[in-house]
Amino acid sequence: MKKKIKQALISVSNKSDLKSILKVLKKYKIKIISSGGTYKKIKKLGYNCQEVSKYTNSPEILGGRVKTLNPKIYGGILSIRNNKIHRKEMLNNNIEEIDLVVVNFYPFENLLEKKQKHKNIIENIDIGGPSMVRAAAKNYKDVVVVTNTDQYQKLILELKKNKGSTTLKYREKLSEEAFNVTSYYDSIISNYLNSKTKNIFPKKKTFHANLIENLRYGENPHQKAAIYNTKKELGILQIHGKKLSYNNYNDIFSALNISKTLPSNLGTIIVKHANPCGVSINKSKVSSFKEALACDPISAFGGIVCCNYKINKKIANELNKIFLEVVIGVGFEQDALKVLKKKKNLRIIDSTKLKINNINNISTNFDSLLIQTIDNKIFSKNNFKIVSKKKPSKKTLKNLIFAFNICRSVKSNAIVLAKDSGTVGIGSGQPSRVESCNIAIKKMNKFQKIKNDDEIIAASDAFFPFVDGVEMLVQAGVSAIIQPYGSIRDKEIIKFANQTNTILVFSKTRHFKH
Amino acid sequence: MKKKIKQALISVSNKSDLKSILKVLKKYKIKIISSGGTYKKIKKLGYNCQEVSKYTNSPEILGGRVKTLNPKIYGGILSIRNNKIHRKEMLNNNIEEIDLVVVNFYPFENLLEKKQKHKNIIENIDIGGPSMVRAAAKNYKDVVVVTNTDQYQKLILELKKNKGSTTLKYREKLSEEAFNVTSYYDSIISNYLNSKTKNIFPKKKTFHANLIENLRYGENPHQKAAIYNTKKELGILQIHGKKLSYNNYNDIFSALNISKTLPSNLGTIIVKHANPCGVSINKSKVSSFKEALACDPISAFGGIVCCNYKINKKIANELNKIFLEVVIGVGFEQDALKVLKKKKNLRIIDSTKLKINNINNISTNFDSLLIQTIDNKIFSKNNFKIVSKKKPSKKTLKNLIFAFNICRSVKSNAIVLAKDSGTVGIGSGQPSRVESCNIAIKKMNKFQKIKNDDEIIAASDAFFPFVDGVEMLVQAGVSAIIQPYGSIRDKEIIKFANQTNTILVFSKTRHFKH
């Protein structure tokens, strides 16, 4: 099944490293066909090469739009070598076999990143390239297809090992990679066009992503896992510590999602099992961390701390007092890093470069995908309506919105208790809202020393279906509540709030998260 | 920007409905080029048509592998009509413009479903079709591209409305849909080739899915959402009730995932907020439902009941006693349906046709995708090790494995208490394991009448980091515990189990779910 290469077609956007393969092609006396810039480059490097237009005896027309789309090229790529009829037709039509196709495309994502004009983006859609790659990949039994410069070294080794031939296994692997490439390329175009017409949910949808790294395993050791990105970088940089696990990544993203909703340079978030177990904003960084930790110091053990500010030595010393899996900062002072790096395993993450544009949320089950836009609504004043007789002060309202923002990152049903823009109790993941209230209150009573004049407020991710949850909160000392409206018992709840002199704010948005 | 169509190229795998467009093409005196089966069909339908090989003056070779890959075709498609140089080159090379390309591909997924041989699958990869579609879609400023028979009616309307011309907006939309199609087509090929070499995580990965339906909104009303499937059907059939919402689907899938882990024809699952709040297996269907309900009747309110058996009238009557959003059955007796349909809004779902092969789990954050194989390990005896002095009876072991199976579908940290293969307390979604124990115990004490000789067992999705959780369970009356091993305190926990005469089983697998 080894196949000798007699003739190659080369047409590449990325012209680096060409010399390395030209050398080996020459060694095995492989003829080369090429066109345009690639032709010029090959000649410049001092190698023999025939122009496609001479080879096909057909001019390059329409400003390069039609060069290789010719039966002499496609016959050469697609003919089945051990098929007698094919061989006869090739002879009759004076077509030579092309055994190696080296084609790479101009990276389409670069155009999009550069925010080129639509016309220019369309002009850059490669027609000939993908056609040749697909043809060569289909005919991998006879043809080698190389679609990336990082495949050159293996090609050279393969040719040397097999004296100018290649093995079927090698060709088949390259064919698989070639279709990965054409599929990825068209998915970018497809998604670009969909986004242009704001068509979020087309009938046929593709997604594409680049492998960032294989992970040791998934949520559990018997699951295989990897992390991908639609760009080529995650936007977060690990600067120290053990390799990140699937669960680390999941927790890191949870924390960073909350971080986004806080005012920058002020907040600390502690996450465990993808749920926040303490969040605080405070002008004093140390206080912010201490308050977040105080919310549930037991759960924080082995958790993830995410600071939405640059970490200094003082914070680093505080962080080092407890066992943490991950510390995330928006940059680190040098002396802070020195302190943190004392812990060999501690994963230290710099989130400075993270861009907060999110792709749509995808949730998979069986063969189905639930796709939704993300819950990133920015609140305006109109989002809230004060429905109780007692009105909140500016400070209270700020505190309520803080807690409501945290709510949206807590698994439903979610109840967040807060004091001075710091959480003091979080209830999460319960099928009944009362149970979440109960958990939040218990946490508060366990870990906080609440004074009589402390103002405790509560936020709920969805409406209270009954008065019972609200009653439980008020009895626990909560004096202001924020919740989405929508229950048939809203009026009862307003009445209860007024009877107990509780501040009640209704939100227009709900924040379920499952 | 209206463009007159003078010439069309038609090459379709799906030949239905051709007549409808031929009629209108004739009306506007549009010339037609075609080849192979499509050519024959057009002639048979009584319309004029020129064969591609005559048009290009180039024979069809290699068994049809090279037909349309010709400069006369691609020049005709790709030339920019208002470009003088292009027009001149077209004249000089005797190339006519092709203004309409009607091409659809043989549905590649059908080949895969039919489990064809690899060779045949490769042979069916369309090279010419996607090339023409991509070329036409790129040149949408001048060319119309039709890729699906369901676009015929709009084409006819467009031509009639504009007297043989089309608008730019129309052509642009078709171009978008064309790239959706080529991208989808190559993604299927790409994924097929990756699966063949068991390459789960290729460097460049695409996913593809078909829109099943747009949903009213996502998890929350301000989020847009849709449900997709990698096949063309979900495998679940709604036979009654209000339209399914995003959260309904999410809960339904949660329930069906648990259903899969239970022995068939025996189990009932109740789900609320994507977490189970009651599960039971029992030979008596009514008992199975009642036991599942008894686990947490408050949370079951407005929940989802999933029966992994055919629902009869007796069950239907029981189901009707409480308020439910969704009822799922493996089929329904006619008289059961009659009973259930009395509730106008109740969504009734038949899961008979659901196939339990799952795609990999995808979790999205920012621009990243965490991808992992699903947690569907089938337990063997070797998965478990009895580590306590006291050994479980067969019945106890069965009960332990039942609870451990439920655990994997409960959000972490998860604690499941069970009695006679029915859950009696579920603690979920807590950052600390002790808290989950506490919730599960409290639920049991609230809703169950436990007798002295009842055997209560407990399962934990991951190891206990300390003895405290185990101690809490034993004090609450638990006499057997199953948990993954792996804590540095495993020995202490075994010691405690032996001191309290508790059965302790270690599992080799963990079941985190976040």
Say if residue A431 is in the same domain as residue A489: yes
d(CA A424, CA A421): 9
pLDDT, average across residues B136-148: 98
Residue A385 φ then ψ, to 5°: -135, 125
Say if residue A328 is in the same domain as residue A475: no
Q: If you measure CA to CA, which chain A residue comes closest to B277?
A: A431
Say if residue B122 is in the same domain as residue B71: yes
Say if residue A252 is in the same domain as residue A190: no
Say if residue A176 is in the same domain as residue A290: no
Contact between chains at A180 and B201 (C-beta distance less than 8 A): no
Say if residue B164 is in the same domain as residue B259: no
Contact between chains at B206 and A206 (C-beta distance less than 8 A): yes
Contact between chains at B368 and A212 (C-beta distance less than 8 A): yes
Q: In this prediction, what percent of chain A has a pLDDT beyond 70?
A: 100
Residue B412 lies in a domain: yes
Q: What is the CATH number of the domain that holds B251?
A: 3.40.140.20
> Three-class SS of residue B277?
strand
Statement: residue A123 has pLDDT above 90: yes
The one-letter amino acid code at A58 reads: S
pLDDT, average across residues A417-429: 96
Query: Counting runs of H as helices and runs of E as strands, what totals does chain A give?
Result: 19, 23
Residue B388 lies in a domain: yes
Closest by Cβ to B86, choosing from A62, A181, A430: A62
Residue A357 lies in a domain: no
d(CA B63, CA A310): 66
Say if residue B415 is in the same domain as residue B490: yes
What is the structure's pLDDT at B356? 79
Q: Which tens digits make up the pLDDT trace of B156-201?
A: 999 999 999 999 999 999 999 999 999 999 999 999 999 999 999 9
Q: Exposed (0-12), middle (13-18) or buried (19+): which is B228, by Cβ within 10 Å?
A: buried
Catalytic residue among B138, B205, B390, B398: B138
Give the largest CA-CA distance in chain B.
99
Statement: residue B261 has pLDDT above 90: no
Statement: residue B62 has pLDDT above 90: no
d(CA B411, CA B439): 13
B385 is catalytic: no
d(CA B309, CA A111): 54
Say if residue A385 is in the same domain as residue A344: no
User: Is the sign of the CA dihedral B111, B112, B117, B123 positive or negative?
Assistant: positive
Distance of residue A27 Cα from the nearest chain B Cα, in angstroms: 31
Q: In this prediction, what percent of chain A has a pLDDT beyond 90?
A: 91
Select the residue from A90, A169, A217, A273 to test the B interface by mutation, using most B Cβ atoms within 10 A.
Answer: A273
What is the structure's pLDDT at A380? 83
Say if residue A329 is in the same domain as residue A462: no
pLDDT, average across residues A104-108: 92
Which residues, listed in sequence order, are joined to residue A166 by a DSSP beta bridge?
A3
Number of domains comprising chain A:
3
What is the structure's pLDDT at A58? 86
Catalytic residue among B141, B260, B273, B513: B273
d(CA A275, CA A298): 14
Say if residue A188 is in the same domain as residue A277: no
What is the structure's pLDDT at A392? 97
DSSP labels for B150-197? GGHHHHHHHHHHTTTEE-HHHHHHHHHHHHHHHHHHHHHHHHHHHHHT
Distance of residue B419 Cα from the nearest chain A Cα, in angstroms: 21
Distance of residue A252 Cα from the nearest chain B Cα, in angstroms: 10
The residue count for chain A: 514
pLDDT, average across residues B15-22: 96
Closest by Cβ to B368, choosing from A228, A368, A413: A228
pLDDT, average across residues A428-438: 94
For residue A345, whether the previous peptide bond is cis, meaning omega lies within 30 degrees of 0, is no
- If you average pLDDT over every residue of chain B, what do you get? 95
What is the structure's pLDDT at A160? 96
User: Chains A, B: CB contacts under 8 A, how many?
Assistant: 467
Active site residues of A: 138, 273
Which residues, listed in sequence order, are joined to residue B506 by a DSSP beta bridge?
B385, B483
Measured between beta carbons, the chain A residues lying within 8 angstroms of B73 are 69
Q: What is the CATH number of the domain that holds B158?
A: 3.40.50.1380
Say if residue A128 is in the same domain as residue A11: yes
pLDDT, average across residues B140-154: 97
ipTM score above 0.90:
yes
Contact between chains at A368 and B130 (C-beta distance less than 8 A): no
Alpha-carbon distances, residue A404 vs A32, A233, A343, A386, A510 (angstroms):
66, 31, 35, 14, 10
- Report whether A171 contacts B171 (CB < 8 A): no
pLDDT, average across residues A391-411: 95
Residue A208 lies in a domain: no
pLDDT, average across residues A29-43: 95
Measured between beta carbons, the chain B residues lying within 8 angstroms of A202 are 176-177, 180, 211
Residue B210 lies in a domain: no
Q: Tell me how crowded residue B356 is: count the other CB atoms within 10 A of its CB.
A: 12
What is the structure's pLDDT at B480? 98
Structure tokens given for B424: 């009696």
Alpha-carbon distances, residue A117 vs A234, B254, B426 (angstroms):
26, 45, 56
Residue A211 lies in a domain: no
pLDDT, average across residues B444-465: 94
Residue B51 lies in a domain: yes
Q: If you measure CA to CA, which chain B residue comes closest to A379?
A: B222
Q: State the alpha helices, DSSP H only, in B277-360.
A: 285-294, 297-300, 313-319, 334-340
Statement: residue B379 has pLDDT above 90: no
Q: If you measure CA to CA, which chain B residue comes closest to A62?
A: B86
The band of B323, judged by pLDDT with boundaries at 50, 70 and 90, is very high
- Report whether B80 contacts B142 (CB < 8 A): yes
Q: Which tens digits make up the pLDDT trace of B332-354?
A: 999 999 999 999 999 999 999 99
Q: Identify the DSSP state of A206.
A: E
Q: Which tens digits make up the pLDDT trace of A458-502?
A: 999 999 999 999 999 999 999 999 999 999 999 999 999 999 999
Structure tokens given for A105: 């495309």
The band of B329, judged by pLDDT with boundaries at 50, 70 and 90, is very high
pLDDT, average across residues B36-65: 92
What is the structure's pLDDT at B113? 86
**What residues make up the domain containing B39?**
3-196
d(CA B57, CA B107): 30
Structure tokens given for B409: 């579908």
Residue A410 lies in a domain: yes
d(CA A142, CA A317): 64
What is the structure's pLDDT at A42? 97
**A488-508 per-residue burial string, b: 16 or more CB within 10 A, e: under 16:** eebeebbebbeebebbbbbbb
What is the structure's pLDDT at B139? 97
Q: Which tens digits make up the pLDDT trace of A189-240?
A: 999 999 999 999 999 999 999 999 999 999 999 999 999 999 989 999 999 9
Say if residue A407 is in the same domain as residue A464: yes
